[in-house]
Amino acid sequence: MTYSTHWDRNSAIIKEKFPGLLEQLDRPGLEDAGDIRIETAASGDPSLIIQGISIHSRRDPKREGRRLAETLNGTGPLIILGFGLGYAVEGILEKTGLSPNRPIIMVERRAAVLRKALETRDLSSLLSAQSLIFVLGGREDGITGALHFCETQGPGGTPSPELIRNPGLMQLDADWYARIERHIQVWTSRDEVNRATLRRFGKRWVRNGSRNLEAIRDLPGIGRLAGIVAPQIPTFLAAAGPSLDRIAPILPAIHKRCVVVAVDTALRLFTGAGVDPDFVVVVDPQYWNSRHLDRIPLHKTCLIAESAVYPPVLRHPCAERFLCASLYPLGSFIEERLDPKGRLGAGGSVATTAWDFARMLGSSSIWIAGLDLSFPGLKTHFKGARFEEQALSESTRFSPGETRSFRALRDGNPFWAAAADGSRVLTDRRLSLYATWFENRFHGTPGLRNYRLSGEGLAISGLITASPAELLALPIRREEIDHHLGSAFSRVHHDFMGQKQMQERRIKYDAALQELVTGLTTIKSLADAAVEILQRTSSPDRTGTGKRPQPPGPQEQKGSCLFLKRLAAIDREIAASPVKDVAGFLVPPPVLGEGEQKNPPPESLTRYGASSLKRYQALSEAVEEQLKQLGKH
């Protein structure tokens, strides 16, 4: 086959590899869009001019692309903000090769620019690379989907991405590219947030989970509630943002029309309105979070909880109790051997879990109040929330309640962003992370309509603003709702609570607990053995203040190989343990076969031995803590 133009050659590859992209580039009239022209650079290569702005060097655009590639030094995905004529991408591919292990995400706001590039230059070699992903115009959260794809394809997670910016294109579409960078920033902050959360709450999760193991045995999972609500019956979800105040007067009317799901932090609003939500969702493990249920009997409400919540939560008086799948290895280990509960999304907020539960129930529409993910009116929660009452009760002359509110606004790296009603609202990095989670889920469930009842919160793509009057125009369905829920609970009691089923679960539970304790004990012994090996191969330092591993000399190479192989064997045995995830929850997981695979040279063995010693000691201490907590069970 012969190609008469660059477009023919390039589009043939795109048609095969990126058929959806070709549809966007082949729209009628796109080739005539805007003030876009090609000029010849001093080097003889084409250069792009848009609205009088030079997008590439007018002297040597290829050299400019290679120079941009020389700034790279990471291993994560490469994100090109502004494709232009593709010189930067070509320079990168010359440096990194065509390895699929390092994806290149090409972000271009203007489809006409990409079309012009494909008409002007032969990009067939670039387009044939296996590592390319295109994000072309449209919603800014497309970059999140691309990063998620890279994460799922890569082995063991994905390092933080590196950015290369085209100043000219970013100048032309500054707001759009700024939002793209905001999504990237939120995405890359996940690991930092997760590490900080683990440091802060890891031991609390272990303590709570150890005390709640019998609840995994005795309580049914939310998977048994999937699809129990007919699609035509709407679900109402109450988060705890400031805009929830506007809904308080109509909660009784909403209750007559919708299945009502509330996050625990919003429960007090329902009590004040004399309304019992059908479900309340609790996933936070902290003591103070459990106080949201204080003196609130839930005789008509079903509790949805995660097994690491503060233990009294699972003993709170309520109509029914269900568990979602554990977010932590300890609970997951028991569930897998006993009774899988049904997984809910965990975006870092109880609101994310509550939305996923509402989705799972089966409604075709979810009406949401209080999901502001921002601070409208510089308020953090609805009026009367437990957080507000606690701040006021602890207020003093030198530390008034307003101080706590100010810290909540200040400490999350706040910034101004677009609100759903077109105004601007204060939000922060953490709340932006939640917003990104919701946007991904909304666009991943196109058959589900999500409505917000206030426009003053953060703009979230896929969340439709509607008025309370539209919700109140829906027909009354409370009798039908009660029938659906009552029938579902009766089936669960019959299928899960029978004497035979309970006895079978007790037997499986005892076996799982024994396997867990035996496995943890074995891993602790292995970690202690590794510590002993490393300490034996160390010698006093010159100051006499302690010990540090010393590299073997040339005459000791045989001994060093044995030392590395013994550690590698211990790593492999730990990796083969069914309880390795439980054991390593509070510490970084072992680097499997590190000594044997990397075979560090003698001069690096000191550093390798010191880091390995700390790792095995941390693992031993973490396992000891978990065995201690299980002993209290």
Encoding tokens for residue 270? 């329902």
Decide: 345 and 352 in contact? Cβ < 8 Å.
yes
CA gap 236, 466 in Å, rounded: 13
Encoding tokens for residue 241? 């943002």
CA gap 434, 190 in Å, rounded: 10
pLDDT of residue 603: 44
- When pLDDT is cut at 50, 70 and 90, the band that residue 514 belongs to is very high
Which residue type, as a one-letter code, is found at position 92?
I
For the segment 446-465, the average pLDDT, to the nearest whole number, is 93
- When pLDDT is cut at 50, 70 and 90, the band that residue 397 belongs to is low
Smallest Cα–Cα separation from 630: which of 519, 505, 516? Answer: 516
CA gap 157, 159 in Å, rounded: 7
DSSP class of residue 584 equals T
For the segment 281-295, the average pLDDT, to the nearest whole number, is 88
pLDDT of residue 258: 98
pLDDT digits (tens, 9 = 90+) for 122-150: 998 888 887 788 998 877 768 877 887 77
Encoding tokens for residue 629? 């907590």
pLDDT of residue 400: 54
Query: Does the predicted TM-score (pTM) go above 0.75?
Result: no
Residue 411 pLDDT more than 60?
no
pLDDT of residue 295: 83
Q: Which residue has the higher pLDDT, 546 or 239?
A: 239
Q: Which residue has the higher pLDDT, 400 or 466?
A: 466
Which residue type, as a one-letter code, is found at position 360?
M
CA gap 194, 348 in Å, rounded: 9
CA gap 362, 112 in Å, rounded: 42
Average per-residue pLDDT in the chain? 83
CATH number, span 6-189: 3.40.50
- When pLDDT is cut at 50, 70 and 90, the band that residue 601 belongs to is very low
CA gap 11, 116 in Å, rounded: 12
Domain ranges of the chain: 6-189, 212-480, 501-631
Which residue type, as a one-letter code, is found at position 18?
F
Decide: 576 and 615 in contact? Cβ < 8 Å.
no
pLDDT digits (tens, 9 = 90+) for 176-224: 998 888 788 777 766 555 555 556 667 888 899 999 999 999 999 999 9
pLDDT of residue 100: 56
Encoding tokens for residue 408? 């909540």
- When pLDDT is cut at 50, 70 and 90, the band that residue 395 belongs to is very low
pLDDT of residue 154: 56
For the segment 487-503, the average pLDDT, to the nearest whole number, is 94
Residue 173 pLDDT more than 70?
yes
pLDDT digits (tens, 9 = 90+) for 74-120: 677 889 999 999 998 888 887 766 455 678 899 999 888 999 999 99
Q: What are residue 162's DSSP bridge partners? A: 78
pLDDT digits (tens, 9 = 90+) for 258-285: 999 999 999 989 988 999 999 999 998 8
pLDDT of residue 449: 96
Taking phi first (over 0 means left), then psi (-120 to 50 degrees means alpha), and beta for anything else, what does residue 384 get? left
